[in-house]
């Protein structure tokens, strides 16, 4: 009986079935049977800590923010396969309209920004689908990765998800959630956060920044000068001298040490910031973190020339941003666009820098091999030209049969 139910579920999914669940389900608790998720992710509780690292590390914030905002600026479109290697853009597709306004509270930019940011911080991103039974999704809601747990299944891989908010656990069916994830070499269900690889560099940099703050904080600064009183004086005179000195010369931020007696010497037992090469150490941490996230040196180095900056931007687009966009587009193609029919694919505009002169040479060569419609589809992603024998323009008089 269980095997028959599984076949039915698969058939419904192929037909575009989406179990009805209003969008408000992720904000309120409904009655249902909860299934305990299996703890398959190492340190799954680290998800909340990752968000804290993003908010507390300036280099992580800059890297993630740069990637997420750049990805959200790239247009997305739906295409239809017109051959083995050709695709034609579908004008005003329903999914494009849905993506432009995924839910009443978010814009397309915000949805893509949060999705890419979650992938960078957590290694996982989730979309909750709200829709009518048997139809396409009506709303897209991003779920916080630190609230989502996966329920594995021996046959189907993933049985469902548990969304936990305010101490309440909400079961979600596998068909209701789209799971974007990065590759994890030691886990079959959850993606790997870039912060795992950058953990040591981030913790080192934060410790150095905290030490720097405390060094210049109140009560931690080295004295600006030392007043040595060589002659023996009474305690009353010693306190009077200190009081009068600080009244006349002691500012709010000025520290002065008082010593009495001729045989007192100062011995420095600590290491200065210069001895530790403090600035270079922080710069090294920054470069290591940026390299882990795929931010080229030419994009942020204060010594970069214009040529280095242009090369860095090109490398960022081709090797960092573009693969992330392809990951999201192909997941949308496999998990969402089948609800709208077969033969559809989603893709972001190809923003990789191209050699236009080389493309023009290819088009000149292709003119003797391909038709005009094939050239339009391959190089410009356009549909075929309208037929010459098209409909007559409006206002054309009808022919008179008697006159004929």
The pLDDT-based confidence of 17 (bands split at 50, 70, 90) is low
Q: Identify whether the C-beta of residue 145 lies closer than 8 Å to the C-beta of residue 118.
A: yes
- 179 bridge partner residues: 126
- pLDDT of 277 over the 80 cut: no
Q: Quick one: DSSP state of residue 321?
A: I
pLDDT in tens, 324-342: 999 999 999 999 999 998 9
How large a percentage of the chain has pLDDT more than 70? 71
- Rounded to the nearest 5°, which phi and psi values hold at 314? -65, -45
What is the SS3 assignment for 89-158?
ECCCCHHHHHHHCCECCECHHHHHHHHHHHHHHHCEEEEEEEECCCCCEEEEEEECHHHEEEEEECCCEE
CA gap 272, 270 in Å, rounded? 7
- pLDDT of 14 over the 70 cut: no
Say which residue the tokens 């990805």 belong to: 71
What is the model's pLDDT at position 309?
81
260-286 b/e (C-beta count within 10 Å ≥ 16 → b): beeeeeeeeeeeeeeeeebeeebeebb
- pLDDT of 297 over the 90 cut: no
Residue by residue, DSSP assigns 282-293 as HHHHHHHHHHHH
The pLDDT-based confidence of 183 (bands split at 50, 70, 90) is very high
Tell which wins on pLDDT, 284 or 15.
Answer: 284
Length of the chain: 404
Average pLDDT score over residue span 72-88: 86
CA gap 54, 120 in Å, rounded? 10
Q: Identify whether the C-beta of residue 298 lies closer than 8 Å to the C-beta of residue 312.
A: yes
pLDDT in tens, 137-172: 999 999 999 899 999 887 878 889 999 988 889 999
**Beta strands in 174-286, from DSSP E residues, in sequence order:** 177-181, 225-229, 256-260
The pLDDT-based confidence of 191 (bands split at 50, 70, 90) is very high
Average pLDDT, the chain: 78
- pLDDT of 35 over the 50 cut: no
Tell which wins on pLDDT, 140 or 45.
Answer: 140
- pLDDT of 263 over the 70 cut: no
Average pLDDT score over residue span 92-105: 95
Sign of the four-CA dihedral 172, 26, 99, 189: negative
Cα 145 to Cα 46, 47, 101, 115: the distances in Å are 11, 7, 22, 10
């Amino acid at each position: 009986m269980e095997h028959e139910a599984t076949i039915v579920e698969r058939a419904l999914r192929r037909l575009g079935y989406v179990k009805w669940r209003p969008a408000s389900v992720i904000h309120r608790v409904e009655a249902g049977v909860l299934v305990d998720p299996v703890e398959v992710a190492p340190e799954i509780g680290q998800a909340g800590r990752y968000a804290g690292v993003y908010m507390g590390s300036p280099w992580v914030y800059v890297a993630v923010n740069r990637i997420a905002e750049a990805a959200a600026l790239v247009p997305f479109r739906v295409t239809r396969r017109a051959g083995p290697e050709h695709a034609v853009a579908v004008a005003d597709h329903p999914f494009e309209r849905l993506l432009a306004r995924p839910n009443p509270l978010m814009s397309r930019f915000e949805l893509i920004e949060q999705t890419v940011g979650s992938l960078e911080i957590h290694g996982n991103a989730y979309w909750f689908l709200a829709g009518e039974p048997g139809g396409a999704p009506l709303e897209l809601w991003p779920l916080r990765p630190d609230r989502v747990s996966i329920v594995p299944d021996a046959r189907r891989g993933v049985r469902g998800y548990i969304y936990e908010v305010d101490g309440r656990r909400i079961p979600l069916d596998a068909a209701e959630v789209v799971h974007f994830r990065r590759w994890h070499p030691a886990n079959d269900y959850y993606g790997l956060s870039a912060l795992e690889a950058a953990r040591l560099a981030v913790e080192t940099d934060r410790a150095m920044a905290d030490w720097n703050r405390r060094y210049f904080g109140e009560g931690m600064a080295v004295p600006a000068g030392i007043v040595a009183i060589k002659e023996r004086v009474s305690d009353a005179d010693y306190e009077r001298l200190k009081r009068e000195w600080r009244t006349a010369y002691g500012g709010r931020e000025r520290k002065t040490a008082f010593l009495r007696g001729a045989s007192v010497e100062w011995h420095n037992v600590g290491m200065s910031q210069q001895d530790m090469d403090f600035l270079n150490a922080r710069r090294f941490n920054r470069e290591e973190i940026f390299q882990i996230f795929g931010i080229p040196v030419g994009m942020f180095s204060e010594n970069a020339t214009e040529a280095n900056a242009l090369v860095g931007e090109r490398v960022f687009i081709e090797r960092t941003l573009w693969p992330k966009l392809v990951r999201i587009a192909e997941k949308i193609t496999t998990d969402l666009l089948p609800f709208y029919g077969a033969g559809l694919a989603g893709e972001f505009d190809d923003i990789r820098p191209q050699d236009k002169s080389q493309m023009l040479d290819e088009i000149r060569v292709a003119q003797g091999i391909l038709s005009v419609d094939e050239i339009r589809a391959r190089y410009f992603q356009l549909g075929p030209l309208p037929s010459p024998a098209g409909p007559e323009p409006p206002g054309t008089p009808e022919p008179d049969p008697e006159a004929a």
